[in-house]
Amino acid sequence: TQLLEQSPQFLSIQEGENLTVYCNSSSVFSSLQWYRQEPGEGPVLLVTVVTGGEVKKLKRLTFQFGDARKDSSLHITAAQPGDTGLYLCAGAAIDYKLSFGAGTTVTVRA
């Protein structure tokens, strides 16, 4: 059983459309990280959210941390083919232990 549940597992959209990926847990985390992984490479950190209710923006990507610090979402506006990849969320406990979600595979068609 995953400590962090990501949904959907797969997402395929047309270029220019918006998408949202969800990361949910019953546990409280001290921080929540989002990574993107491209084929043949290791995950790369996109953002860390720390405070309940926090919203961070990275160009067309918007990350939100739930008020109770148990869930998070990633919203991509006007998706582009370069956004294609596996998106992973990871929750950090107070003892530094990280728990990863299973990931959401995003495909943006040109």
Task: Closer to another protein by CB, 60 or 97: give it.
Answer: 97
- Residue 20's identity, in one-letter code, is T
| Gap between the Cα atoms of 35 and 33, Å rounded | 7
| Contact between 82 and another protein per CB under 8 A | no
Sheet holding 5-7: strands in order across? 5-7, 19-24, 71-76, 61-65, 55-58
- Residue 72's identity, in one-letter code, is S
| Contact between 10 and another protein per CB under 8 A | no
- Residue 22's identity, in one-letter code, is Y
Question: Which position among 19, 66, 101, 106 is part of the footprint of another protein (CB under 8 A)?
Answer: 101
Window 25 to 64, contacts with another protein (CB under 8 A): 30-31, 33, 35, 40-45, 48, 50
Q: Give bridge partners of residue 47 from the DSSP assignment.
A: 34
Nearest distance in Å: CB 96, another protein:
4
Residues near another protein (CB under 8 A): 2, 6, 9, 30-31, 33, 35, 40-45, 48, 50, 88, 90, 92, 96-98, 100-103
